[in-house]
Structure formats: structure tokens, C-alpha cells
Amino acid sequence: MEFMVSNLFPRNVIGDYDIRGKVGIDFSAEHAYQVGLAFGSIVQQQEGKTVSVGQDRRKTSPMFSSMLIKGLLDSGANVIDLGKTTTPYVSSSYNFIDCDASISVTASHNPAHYNGFKFSLFGNSFFGDDLQKMYERIVNKSFRSGSGKLTKRSFVDNYINYIKRNFNISEKSKVIWDCGHGAAGEFIELAVKDLKGEHKIIRSEPKDVPDYDNSKISFLEKTKEELDKNPGFIAFTFDGDADRLVIVDEKKEVWTGDEVLCFLSLVKRIKSGQKISTVWTSKSSKKITDWLKEFEIESFFSKVGHCYLTNAMNKNLSSIGGEISGHYIFRDNFFTIDDGIFTALRFLDCMSIFPYKLNQIKSIFPKVWVSPSLRIKCGTLKKKEIMEYVENILVISDHSFELKDDSIIVNHPMGWWLIRPSQTENVVSLRCEGWNENGYMEVKNFMETTLANIGLII
């Protein structure tokens, strides 16, 4: 039976692996209702019935969650309301309670005026073509009609016990846990309870802040202030929905995602006593992945995005995968879900086998000359146009490059650089690496000159 709704659904909020946009500009709670109708219809069409729903701590999340749940119920789907929680908790619900699918109401690391939805179905990511087909269902108003049942449930104790199991945390551990006013707060309070060592929790209270992006300098300024007050401590920081981890060592040096994944891979190799493989993204440091070959750690590369990393890990039977932004996935013992809190606990466990400070461990890694991930607003141009212009310039100038997934990787005798479109904003993302310091500057200048030709200034 067709169920009629009003308001055209905006296509621009449909990303590659989630729905995300500015509240009141891109979409509204009415659109959350349409998402509920569409996703509930899809779940039932595939012989499912029950959807778990959780929300982050944004002020708009209760309204979006309420309308989403109403849509699910009106489609005939049953709903388990998990309340305010982290995205990894919602994603793992398939493994802990009787549900067929999940939706997390969140805009992840984006500012407070954003919101959105992340989905899973039968324990797998719901992304790409799945989201496009759901959009078509919304446009065509192809919804089921029914009266689902709403219940509230928590499995927090089981979840916390699971992520803490089998880890050996040193009594010498000294950690600042920076929740960034996001969803991590209450979960970290439970996770660090009874842990050995000294643990201080900051910014755990809910608050709408200018940015939930724990990779940005503005976010990490507060983290470093706390490290100044607590000599010898390291810091774990979390984004808005706690699926991302950024680490700052006792000398206030921010570890790159490459360094974290390198360390996790090395310890996995040491503990297993066997050859292993790790999945990286195309933006990862090639110098680090080449160095890991010396330890019989093979590297595979994936398109950016949890769903793509997971697929690559399963295909190559890889133990670990990750992105430079701070998402890490473990195939060996955590449902291939990117959970910042679980990663932090595993990182502490890895540290326990080394009699060194974290900054000393970092010195083991090869010296790299690589830029941070740079995000450039496209202005009046569309990100798709930017990508086409760059490709045309490279073709005309006869430079070596390759098209990999959604990225352009430009080869250079002294290194490489990459450009890819953002999945959620009219922004392009850039990164470059040189084989030495002079090479880095040469590659960086080449990248900047190429982009300046189309009016983009880094």
C-alpha cells in the first residue's frame, strides 16, 4: 500500500556511505520521516522486521530520531530505541540483540548544525547503490504501510564487557580521554572503570560545539592544554559519534593515522608470529607501507570508507584496516566495526609489550615527508568539475597519473600526490608525499601549481 508524504527529498544529502547535511538548509526532520518509511520498507522486503535506532548528542538528534522512528513504525517495521549513544554501539546491536538492521542518527565529525544517518542491514554496511535505491524509493513514494512495535533496550554492560575483554592494560598507563562533548562521554566513563593506571576524562558532558572533528588543530588545542597540566600522560580523542580515534603522545605530538595503523600492524605481527596483511587507503604513506614489507606485513589499498575497507579486508583476509582520518577496523575480534573506544583500549594493550614511552615508540618508524589531509572548498565550481579539470591538465601536460576508485593519484619521480572529492561536502581532499625533504617540497609545489591553474589556492 502506498503511503503519501510531502516535501521533495534533497538528493545532495545522499553520500556514498551515509546521508548527511545541514539541518534547516539541506533537509529537515520531515525528511527523517521519509528515511524511516523507505528503510523500514526495504528491511521488510528483505525478510527483516526489526530496526535498532540510536542518536548522538546534537540538539537536533532527538527530533530527527523521533521522526525517523515514526517513519519506521508507519512502514510496519518494529523499532528498538537505543537512545543517546555512539555509532559503533548502534552498529554492533545486530550482534548483541534481536534486530535485523540499524540506523545511527549522527553527522559524525561534522559541526553541530549538521545531522544525518548511518545504516547497516543484517550486520553489513548499507551504502552506495543501496542508498541510491532508497532515494528512488522515496522519490517514487514506494513505501509499505503498517503499525510497528516500539521498545526501548540497552545492552551497554554486555557491550562494554566485550570491548574490554582479553586486553592487558599496564598499571603504568597514564591517559587523558577527551570526549570532545560528543557521544563518547558516558561510554568512556564505563570503559575506563577498573582499568589499571591513571585515567582522566575531559569534555564528557553533552554540548553543541563548533566542530566535532578530532583531527583539527582547534579541537586538539584543549587536548594539549590538558597534557601540559598532566606531564607523562598521552591523550585519546574522539569525534562526535566516537567511531574515530586521534592520539596525542606525551610530547604533544599528534600521531598520524598512518603511524597508528603501522603500530597496530607491527604488534599484531609480533603477537601472531605469522605473516599478516593490512588494508590502507590510497591516501596512506607509501614509505610506511614499503617499510612494513621488511616485517612480512603485506599492504593492500582500498577506497576511503568503512564499507570499502571491510570488503577489502574480507577479500584479502586482512587482520586490520584503517584510514588516515582515524578510523580503524579489526577483522580478528570486533565485527569489522570502526570503534574509537575499542581501538584506544587495543592500542593500550599493544603499548604494554614495549618498555618505552609512546613518543619513543614513534621514533622506531621510518622518517616520512607527507602532508596532512588537506580539504579545499571548491567555491563556485562543483567538486566533479574540479576532478575533471585536474585530469585534463594532467593529460595535456603528459604527466603520469592513475585513476583509482574516486581518486586521481599523480606519480612523480620524487613522490606522489592525490586528489579526491569529499562524499559529504563540495570539497576536494588532497595529500602529497615525498621520498625525502627536497622531494616533498617539489611534489607539494607541483600539486599547488596544478591546482592554481584552476583557481584553487591551498
Just list the catalytic residues: 108
Secondary structure (H, E, C), 82-97: EEECCHHHHHCHHHHC
Provide the angle, in degrees to the nearest 10, between the axes of the packed helices 437-452 and 383-396: 110
For cell 592544554, what's the residue?
225
Residue 254 DSSP code? B
Burial letters for 428-449: b for 16+ Cβ neighbours within 10 Å, e otherwise?
bbbbbbbbeeebbebbbebbee
Q: Which pairing describes strands 374-377 and 401-404: parallel, antiparallel, or unpaired?
A: unpaired
Cell of 394: 594532467
347: left (phi over 0), alpha (psi -120 to 50) or beta: alpha
d(CA 403, CA 135) in angstroms, rounded, equals 28
Residue type (1 letter), 167: F
Q: What is 265-296 written as a DSSP string?
A: HHHHHHHH-S-EEEEEETTS-HHHHHHHGGGT
Neighbouring CB atoms inside 10 A of 174's CB total 17
Neighbouring CB atoms inside 10 A of 147's CB total 9
Q: Which of 255, 329, 265 is nearest to 293 (CA)?
A: 265
d(CA 320, CA 198) in angstroms, rounded, equals 28
For cell 535505491, what's the residue?
133
Cell of 314: 574480507
Beta carbons within 8 Å of 184's beta carbon, 6+ residues apart: 86, 177, 204, 238, 242, 340, 341
